[in-house]
Amino acid sequence: MSTPNPASFPAGPSRILPTIASPSVASPIPALAVSEASRTSARPSARPAPYRPGTFRSLAPVVDEILEDVRAIAEGRLEGVDGVVDKAKEVLAALKEMRATALALPGGDMSTDELEAVERELARRADERRETLRRFAAAATPTIDAVPPAADATVSA
- Residues 71-111: pLDDT tens digits? 998 988 888 888 899 999 999 999 998 888 888 888 888 88
| Residue 5 zone, left/alpha/beta (φ > 0; ψ -120 to 50; rest) | beta
- Residues 32-83: pLDDT tens digits? 554 444 444 444 444 455 667 777 889 999 999 999 999 998 988 888 888 8
Closest CA to 107 of 115, 97, 116: 115
**Contact in structure between 69 and 54 (CB atoms under 8 Å):** no
b/e 127-157 (16+ beta carbons within 10 angstroms → b): eeeeeeeeeeeeeeeeeeeeeeeeeeeeeee
**Contact in structure between 10 and 117 (CB atoms under 8 Å):** yes
